[in-house]
Amino acid sequence: MGIFIGGDTKLIVQGITGRDGSFHARQMIGYGTQVVAGVTPGRGGKAFDDAVPVFDTVAEAVAETGANASVVYVPARFAADAGFEAISAGVELVVIITEGVPVADMLRLLPYAREHGARIVGPNCPGLIVPGVCKVGILPGNIVAEGPAGIVSRSGTLTYEVIDCLTKAGIGQSACVGIGGDPIVGTSFVDCLEAFENDPRTAAVALIGEIGGTDEQVAAEYVSKHMTKPVVGFIAGRSAPPGRRMGHAGAIISGAEGTAAEKVRSFQENGIAVAERPVEVADLLGARL
């Protein structure tokens, strides 16, 4: 039922009593996600909105509720520590929404996650949603619809725009994943493409990339070699000048490989139809469903 999350997801919200954590916890609960616990050190024993128990530690929350996923809404300097705490408590999926997490912190966290068989999504990401089933993060539930299109994107805002265009065109989604725009993220395009390829609910995939790095080129090669389902793409930042960061920490061109032109060329050479504007993704996907 979707990729990475589903009806069996039991979610902890780390930072549930903060401004962002409390707002989005209510949104996730309202969408139907099983939010089984919150964690805020020093607030243990209380209840969020008189419904969700709050614990001082993730270990206590997991022991009491059997939670298997966590979403992190804590300040950047504490976000990696929140990830370490969740993984050490046995959480299988940690979604880090926080922006501005130091790269050095992620370089410590990701090997730890791999060693313990856990998955990190993010940081600096909108999270993920399986329409009609579960959402973890900040993706707006009112714009999605159930259907056969898988969405994976580096950009949160572009994720929303493409989803909205698809829904208005009558193309629902099987799952939507925002992997985050930082130079180092826990879940890659390839991880998501592999999951969509193996997901019986997904018939086609939209891959939304942007300038900077070579992740899109690696994904394009994977599509050519391993995907049987059609994939369409869009690359943001075609007008970005070299050497200037545009929006995300990872969206900076250094040399030829990170340019939009290079990414578009790689997509086309590997059989991925490329939209010139986000709205055109719906047309390309619709022609392949």
Residue 201 has phi, psi (to 5 degrees) of -80, -15
Locate the DSSP E strands across 145-261: 146-153, 173-178, 204-210, 231-236
Say which residues have a Cβ less than 8 Å from residue 23's Cβ, sequence separation at least 6.
Answer: none
Nearest to 209 by CA among 195, 193, 225: 193
In angstroms, rounded to a whole number, what is the distance separating the alpha carbons of residues 161 and 11?
Answer: 26
Instruction: Measure the N-to-C terminal CA separation of the chain; round to a whole number of Å.
Output: 20
In angstroms, rounded to a whole number, what is the distance separating the alpha carbons of residues 133 and 201?
Answer: 13
**Could you identify the residue written with the tokens 């050190």?**
41
DSSP letter at 241?
A: P
| Both structure tokens of 247 | 């929006």
In angstroms, rounded to a whole number, what is the distance separating the alpha carbons of residues 76 and 196?
Answer: 30
| Both structure tokens of 144 | 């999605």
Catalytic residue among 24, 116, 226, 248: 248
Does residue 24 have an active-site annotation? no
- What letter represents residue 121's amino acid? V
In angstroms, rounded to a whole number, what is the distance separating the alpha carbons of residues 253 and 237?
Answer: 10
Residue 225, class by beta-carbon neighbours within 10 Å (0-12 exposed, 13-18 middle, 19+ buried)? Answer: exposed
Q: Return the percent helix, strand and coil in the chain, to nearest 5.
A: 35, 25, 40
Residue 113, class by beta-carbon neighbours within 10 Å (0-12 exposed, 13-18 middle, 19+ buried)? Answer: buried
**Residues forming the active site:** 248
